[in-house]
Amino acid sequence: MIAKPNGEDRLLRKVVKGMLPKNRLGAKLLSNMYVYAGSEHKHDAQNPKAIDINSLK
């Protein structure tokens, strides 16, 4: 996921963490999630999409 550098990355991580099981499996799954602040990342071949948080309300 790509987030804006103003702290939305923490919001996305917290939201996803709340949806995961509250045990070791949830912690392992959360460690596999990568959230990048800004558009620069090392996964160019995967073509990630920018998410506009305001349009999801």
CA distances from 44 to 6, 16, 31, 48, 54 (A): 22, 23, 20, 8, 25
Could you tell me the end-to-end alpha-carbon distance of the chain, in angstroms, rounded to an integer? Answer: 18
Two tokens, residue 54: 């305001």
Rounded Cα–Cα distance for residues 55 and 41 (Å)? 23
| Domain ranges across the chain | 1-40
Higher pLDDT: 54 or 3? It is 54
Task: Please state the length of the chain.
Answer: 57
pLDDT of residue 5: 62
pLDDT digits (tens, 9 = 90+) for 5-43: 677 788 888 999 999 999 999 999 999 988 877 777 776
